[in-house]
Amino acid sequence: MKKKIGKNFLWGASTSAYQVEGGWNADGKGPSVQDANAGGFIAELNFDGITDFKVAADHYHHYKEDVALMAEMGFKSYRFSINWTRIFPTGMDKKPNEKGIDFYNKLIDELIKYNIEPLVTIHHFDLPQGLEDLGGWNNKELILDSYTKFCEVLFKEFGDRVKYWQTINEQNMVILFGHILKRQKTGVDEGTKMYQIFHNMNVAQALAIQLLRKMCPNAKIGPAPNISYVYPKTSKPNDVLAADTANLIRNWIYIDILAKGTYDQILLNFWSDNGYDIKITQEDMDLLKSVKIDFIAFNYYSTMTVEAPTSDKEYIVGDQQMGFNLENMFQSATNEHLEKTEYGWEIDPIGFRMTCRALKTRYDLPIIITENGLGAKDVLTSDGKIHDDYRIEYLRQHIKQIPDIINDGVDLFGYNPWSAIDLVSTHQGISKRYGFIYVNRDEKDLKDLKRYRKDSFYWYQKVISTNGENI
């Protein structure tokens, strides 16, 4: 008999602190890399719609109303992140900022009031600028100390109510697209630096896991990478080999180390072939070997397609979801079989199932979707409606895969698309909307920030109330 979606399946949605909260300097909050550099470096990239994160969706002041709307949709879970600089304004403060802790206590209590499971991301792209000024993730001693102190406060203050923790959002995208997502002029071109950051982040995650086991033995923890299964452009063996390498470099190395405690030989060869000198101690490796994640949270937007590198092909260069190239290893290609969103991201629901299968085969761990969704320029009609049938269609196609994914034997325990409510896109402003709830503002005009239920709001409400039967 076909397996079905279980009754405890965590239907919900997702946000991140700096993109939704606003209140950028409220109640003692310090500046993060996002506050410090929004509209600065990013402007050089020539994306239209540059918005800062000062007000965002003003969730900081609207959280009660927002949680009530999530409850109205029937959410069983809500994935959000903690703004590091609300808790430690410079990242190195002696004591945590009580008012920052208060905010998350109130938010978590509000969720629990409605039986919504809080799924907390410890760190989502908003490193304290104070730490960044001193080298950020590249300053190993400092970052390990600051990140574990941050975790310690979170586990102590919220661990009585939060059961699911994610260590770092999209570590892989930070490494590969740091220049876009983290407001840093770094990227894969600075190999040694970026892979040192990769390793430092792995050690930090291992320390967080170790700490959680001690402080909250019943809680669960996992990473939250962005996973896109990589297809070969053709069945030519060299294209298949390129896809295998791309899968490893884009996806697996970010989970292997936390699930198996090892760095793949192909990665080690890649480092040495390129002269990347990554400082790794035996103590680091022992620590990494000693911890194990409980689940894999992952963000899925699309698959990626690559072919063997050639010198005469035009390289595709885009944002975090449009692929990337590694010299002599693989180069991105367009998948002619897939349609694209208006922002150029390929739409691939079957790839969603394929990605889940690949994760099961490689790790055999429970998985949860912490992002999936469609960015579009929604229109608020004069009678207060938002007809986002394109978003419903995107989500429907992906949700339709869930029973098959579960029937494939994958332990998929929740689906939390991006985003619960409209928020500011990482690099394309507020006009690239993802939410079930519309927030009335545009790039520069804050208007009244009023909330409106989109058509997708009512549709998702029905999906949840029928446990995915009525889509």
Catalytic residues: 371
Choose the binding region for ligand BGP from 32-40, 158-166, 167-175, 238-246 (rule: CB under 6 A): 167-175
Q: How many residues bind ligand BGP (CB under 6 A)?
A: 16
Burial 23-46 (b: 16+ CB within 10 A, else e): bbeeeebbbbbbbbbbeeebeeee
Name the amino acid, one letter, at 96: P
User: Quick one: tokens of 60?
Assistant: 């900081």
Longest Cα–Cα distance of the chain, Å, equals 64
21 binds ligand BGP (CB under 6 A): no
Pairwise CA distance, residues 272 & 267, whole Å: 9
What string marks each residue from 414 to 453 as x (binds ligand BGP by CB under 6 A) or -?
A: ----x------xxxx---x---------------------
Q: How many Cα atoms occupy the beta-carbon half-sphere of 212 within 13 Å?
A: 29
Choose the binding region for ligand BGP from 93-101, 145-153, 169-177, 463-471 (rule: CB under 6 A): 169-177
Pairwise CA distance, residues 159 & 157, whole Å: 6
Residues 264-303 that bind ligand BGP (CB under 6 A): 299
Q: Which residue has the tokens 């920030």?
A: 449
173 binds ligand BGP (CB under 6 A): yes
167 binds ligand BGP (CB under 6 A): no
Question: What minimum distance in Å lies between the beta carbon of 362 and ligand BGP?
Answer: 21
Question: What minimum distance in Å lies between the beta carbon of 428 and ligand BGP?
Answer: 6
Q: With 0-12 CB in 10 A as exposed, 13-18 as middle and 19+ as buried, what is 260? A: middle
H/E stretch holding 12 reads: strand 10-14
Pairwise CA distance, residues 66 & 81, whole Å: 15
Nearer to ligand BGP, 17 or 242 (CB): 17
138 binds ligand BGP (CB under 6 A): no
In this structure, how many other beta carbons lie within 10 angstroms of the beta carbon of residue 457? Answer: 20
Position of minimal CB gap to ligand BGP:
425
Name the DSSP class of 39.
Answer: T
Question: What minimum distance in Å lies between the beta carbon of 226 and ligand BGP?
Answer: 5
Dihedral sign computed on CA atoms, order 449, 454, 457, 460: negative
16 binds ligand BGP (CB under 6 A): yes
Pairwise CA distance, residues 445 & 232, whole Å: 44
Question: What minimum distance in Å lies between the beta carbon of 15 and ligand BGP?
Answer: 9
Question: What minimum distance in Å lies between the beta carbon of 301 and ligand BGP?
Answer: 7
Residues 241-260 that bind ligand BGP (CB under 6 A): none
Residues 336-375 that bind ligand BGP (CB under 6 A): 371, 375
In the complex, the residues that contact ligand BGP under the rule CB under 6 A are 16, 19, 169-170, 173, 226, 299, 320, 371, 375, 418, 425-428, 432
